[in-house]
Amino acid sequence: MKNSNSTPETENGMDTKVFDHIRDTLNSMFDIDKNKITPEARLYEDLDIDSIDAVDLVVELKSFTGSRINPDDFKSVRTIQDVVSAVERLMKP
């Protein structure tokens, strides 16, 4: 059971605010149907994100997190859950 001080989370423990931002960003930047953007969705295979799109996403996430993002940190990212986890790590104090 969550206490009132916890951050909003989805069923699998990811931050809902981060997930929602990523989903909204993918929808607005790449016109991807929000229903297709699930934690398990694979960026390249399921959502048709290419390497240039991935760089654009990293640039946008930099403004969201307020942190410098090294594109190499995102080389192992394969799913939406991976992106959320990487962003959550960047946002930790």
Q: How far apart are CA 57 and CA 8, in angstroms?
A: 23
What does the CA dihedral 50, 84, 63, 3 come to, rounded to 10 degrees?
160
Q: Note whether residue 23 is domain-resident.
A: no
- pLDDT at position 12 is 54
Domain that holds residue 59: 30-91
Better pLDDT: 20 or 92: 20
Q: For 6-22, what is each residue's pLDDT tens digit?
A: 444 544 566 789 999 99
* 5 found inside a domain: no
Asked if residue 21 belongs to a domain, the reply is: no
Q: How many domains does the chain have?
A: 1
Per-residue pLDDT of 53-85, as tens digits, reads 988 998 898 888 888 777 677 778 899 999 998
On whether the pTM is more than 0.85, the answer is no
CATH code at 58?
Answer: 1.10.1200.10
Distances (CA, A) of 23 to 1, 48, 49, 88, 91: 26, 14, 13, 15, 17
Q: Looking at the domain assignment, is residue 64 inside a domain? A: yes
Q: Is 70 exceeded by the pLDDT of residue 33? A: yes
Query: 54 lies in a domain?
Result: yes
Residue 77 within a domain: yes
